[in-house]
Amino acid sequence: MQNIQIIILAAGKATRMGGIAKALAQLKNKPFLKHILDTIDHLHLNTKTIIVVGHKQEEIKEVLGNNYIYAEQKEQLGTGHAVLSAKNAVDPKDKIILVLSADQPLISKNTLENIIGRHIQKSPMITLGTVIVPNFDDYRIGMNHFGRIIRDEKNLVKKIVEFKDANEEERQIKEVNPAIYAFDSKWLWENIHKIKNDNVKGEYYLTDLIKICCEQKQKIEAIPVSNIIEGLQPNTKEELETLEKLTE
């Protein structure tokens, strides 16, 4: 097995959940981040997970303890900037970097194994998890604001367009981005500085690496998650209540 390093992005705040660290929002009386870390434990990787912290980082460290490596994102400048904040904590021997978000409490061992397995088998620069929804009704309504997976005429991933930057036609696409990525480590660090922040929010989006990869004519693999609900990332107390009901 190739050396794999997992980075979890946990620097954000849950503004619509009372301003707590989103990573510490509770599902089934357990913090989101703890759900993910418990799932990662079942992968039996020989590395300590890196957690990118920022907002209320002391609380996160207090809850999780010293079994992890913490990297600080000093400013909230987007997901690309968050991953870059973890670079110095990554062992140069690690060949694969798996990037997750702390607000994905239902991500499964099966999905993570599928993404890692595909990445090892096909050796692309990026392997990403996707969610394919029948529509954006019911519990899937929150996914309507996810980035859209844009494919070319050969059905290969061409780019990801963030919802805020998408046109009406792109917003009709039912394959969305839940922000689960495996990167070739060498390629990631060589290219992450190329991300620009010329978008509506003025942030450095990790998703721009998809476009960069395509422009370089490098290979990208995409694999749907095992279950749609794994992609749910609740932003409000109402969405969290929905998640609680779905997992009863």
Q: What is the pLDDT of residue 27?
A: 94
Percent of the chain with pLDDT over 90: 83
Considering the domain boundaries, does residue 54 fall inside one? yes
Q: Is 16 a catalytic residue?
A: yes
pLDDT at 68: 97
Question: What is d(CA 205, CA 78) in angstroms, rounded to the nearest whole number?
Answer: 6
Dist CA 130 CA 240 (whole Å): 21
Q: Is residue 100 part of a domain?
A: yes
Asked whether residue 202 is assigned to any structural domain, the reply reads yes
Q: What percent of the chain has pLDDT over 70?
A: 97
What is the domain count for the chain?
1
pLDDT digits (tens, 9 = 90+) for 163-183: 988 999 999 999 999 999 999
Tell me whether residue 137 is in a domain.
no
218 pLDDT band (50/70/90 cuts)? Answer: very high
Phi/psi at 67 (nearest 5 deg)?
-85, 5
Strands 220-224 and 126-132, bridge-based pairing: parallel
Average pLDDT over residues 227-246: 91
**What CATH number has the domain bearing residue 64?**
3.90.550.10
Tell me if 45 sits within 8 A of 90, measured CB to CB.
no
Q: Is the pLDDT of residue 1 over 60?
A: no
In a domain, residue 151? The reply is: no
Inter-residue contact 43 to 112 (CB < 8 Å): yes
Among 3-17, 77-91, 92-106, name the one with the lowest average pLDDT. Answer: 3-17
| Domain of 216, in residue numbers | 4-129+177-225
**55 located within any domain:** yes
Instruction: Give pLDDT, residue 15.
Output: 67
Q: pLDDT of 90-135, one tens digit each?
A: 999 999 999 999 999 999 999 999 999 999 999 999 999 999 999 9
How many angstroms separate the CA atoms of 215 and 194, rounded? 12
The pLDDT value recorded for residue 146 is 95
Grade residue 16 by pLDDT with cuts at 50, 70 and 90: low
Residue 247 placed within a domain: no
Q: Judge contact between 52 and 82, C-beta under 8 A.
A: yes
Torsion of CA 119, 123, 129, 131, to 10 degrees: -120
Confidence of residue 61 (pLDDT cuts 50, 70, 90): very high
16, 140, 151, 171: which is the annotated catalytic residue? 16
Tell me which of 47 and 18 has the higher pLDDT. Answer: 47
Residue 184 lies in a domain: yes
E-strand ranges in 59-165 read 69-72, 96-101, 126-132, 147-151, 157-161
Look at residue 20 in the predicted model and tell me its pLDDT. Answer: 75
Nearest-angstrom CA–CA distance, 48 and 6: 8
